[in-house]
Structure 1
Amino acid sequence: MWPAESSTRHPDAALLTVRGLRKSFASNRVLASVDITVERGKVLALIGPSGSGKTTLLRCLNGLAIADGGTIDVAGELNLDFAAAPSRPQLAALRDRSAMVFQHYNLFPHMTVLQNIIEGPVVVQRRSREEATAEALTLLDRVGLTEKRDSHPFELSGGQQQRVGIVRALALRPQLLLFDEPTSALDPELVGDVLRLIRELADEGWTMVIATHELEFAREVAHEVAFIDGGVILESGSPAQVLRDPQHPRTRQFLQRLLFPFERPASDTDE
């Protein structure tokens, strides 16, 4: 497998810079004005309640949703200004530089595992079927799923489907990997294999943005954690700072409820 893009080739340069990103669906404002920066080879973990804007932000970064305003810059080579409608080639270039791993796998049910993986490289990126197949088999071997190459998604466990989803993303050779709650649809006993694979990718220097509720995983893997609520980044910093000593009251409230879901909030306790 090819290596992740090395940060040593571009010292002090961000791979992803987002400024003032906004997105609404009809009258529902989902992203108010989001600013994030992710350096090459680093991992940003997005945490926040359901409906806070995490998924919409990831979809905007992949071009699956079109922002209403703000800018996205990738590697200083691609800059999209959503104040003016980006061109189709710009959106295609954004999708080519990033790859999404979805919460519910999103594998094509009528295709085999191998067909799911090579579809993007062959159809979208116009690479040869032989090259794409050889690369797909190498990736499947890495995640221990070579024997599943001819299986269909319904024949796989949830953890196996998600590992195939990660392989499918890697096969596109992206600069940026995006994960939308990659373990939330899994049975607890299947979570470990997926998290170990993501941790390996982080160790190899892949640049990633991960929306997750796995706080211990975020603490171990992420270089920066950002808390988003109401479409706004309310707090960001190192995992130690945000997860152990949050400064914003809403961050503290969210972490308290996530870590101790059966405790009554302090404001509700008896005097």
Structure 2
Amino acid sequence: MSHTDPATNAPALLKVTGLQKSFGDHQVLKSIDLQIGKGQVLALIGPSGSGKTTVLRCLNGLEIPDGGEVAFSDGPAVVFAPKTTQKQAQVLRTRSAMVFQNYNLFPHMTVLENVIEGPIQVQRRKRSEAVADAEALLARVGLGQKRDQYPHQLSGGQQQRVGIVRALALKPSLLLFDEPTSALDPELVGDVLKVIKELADEGWTMVLVTHELAFAREVADEVVFMDQGVVIERGHPDVVLRAPQNERTQQFVHRLLNPF
């Protein structure tokens, strides 16, 4: 594996090679290659159905690719084939954590219980340690007073911040964000983006699927444009988002920046 990400010259954390995934007769991913440097932010953009979310789910072991390899610099590495099992794929979750579009909080659990569930049940950490970490993280995102409330008592923006805290509590090497603001009212988007920006500034390694192009330009080290299961264009945000070279990328960026 390469020791650096060629796009950023940062030490490589993750290398994805030849990732393929089909659902029935529909091939969603057609040999995707990605490399992510340690401490870098990679933004995946593209139209709905282009395969962006499927990439994230494959990186987190939620989907089993039909082929390809996902390799972390410090392990694990998973080479996918038709007989790869869910258990083999789930080893990737020891290094990554996912923040979902629709929060995916457990409705019958309090905020605190949602955050400590993974560290205690999956990582077998002591409850006292998990609670202390959770309380510190909740306070950090302005939700310390909400620890004993249930998800239905929170706004969408607050629920998504809990989702981010739940991911952070697992202490992952890689954070995966799947359209983290798309389900939010416009006035709540800023609070969530502020937290993500702070994480980027602190050096968290992230893959971010988003339609917020201005935000992607601000936080990403590299932008990858996908369409119909392939990577069409990749590069520095100022290039891909301000002066894209590929005609399909130009059409997509222009449409998002000029919706009317």
- Shorter chain as denominator, the TM-score bin is over 0.9
Displacement, 1:96? 1.4
- What stretches of structure 1 move > 3 A for 4+ residues in a row? 84-90
3-state SS, counterpart of residue 259 of structure 2: coil
Decide which of 254, 258, 261 is 2:259's aligned counterpart: 261
Alignment match, 1:3: none
Alignment match, 2:59: 61
Give the whole-Å Cα distance in 1 for the aligned partners of 2:67 and 2:243.
33
Amino acid at match of 2:70: I
Alignment match, 2:24: 26
Give the whole-Å Cα distance in 1 for the aligned partners of 2:63 and 2:54.
7
Indicate the larger mover: 90-99 or 181-190. 90-99
Q: Deviations over 1:18-51 (max 9, x none)?
A: 0110000011111111000000000000000011
Q: How does 1:15-54 map to 2 (within 5 A)?
A: 15-54=13-52
Displacement, 1:88? 5.7
Unmatched segments (≥5 aa) in structure 2: none
Q: Deviations over 1:74-125 (max 9, x none)?
A: 1242211113644566433211110000000000000000000000000011
Change (3 A) 1:59 1:217: same
Amino acid at match of 2:125: R
TM-score (norm 2): 0.94
3-state SS, counterpart of residue 52 of structure 1: coil
Decide which of 105, 119, 122 is 2:120's aligned counterpart: 122
Alignment match, 1:245: 243
Matched, 1:168 2:166: yes
Alignment match, 2:223: 225
3-state SS, counterpart of residue 174 of structure 1: coil
Give the whole-Å Cα distance in 2 for the aligned partners of 1:64 and 1:261.
33
Give the whole-Å Cα distance in 1 for the aligned partners of 2:46 and 2:90.
29
Superposed CA RMSD in Å reads 1.4
Change (3 A) 1:79 1:185: same
3-state SS, counterpart of residue 199 of structure 1: helix
Displacement, 1:220? 0.5
Give the whole-Å Cα distance in 2 for the aligned partners of 1:23 and 1:87.
14
Displacement, 1:152? 0.4
| Equivalent pairs, count | 253
Matched, 1:204 2:197: no
TM-score (norm 1): 0.91
Percent identity over the alignment is: 66
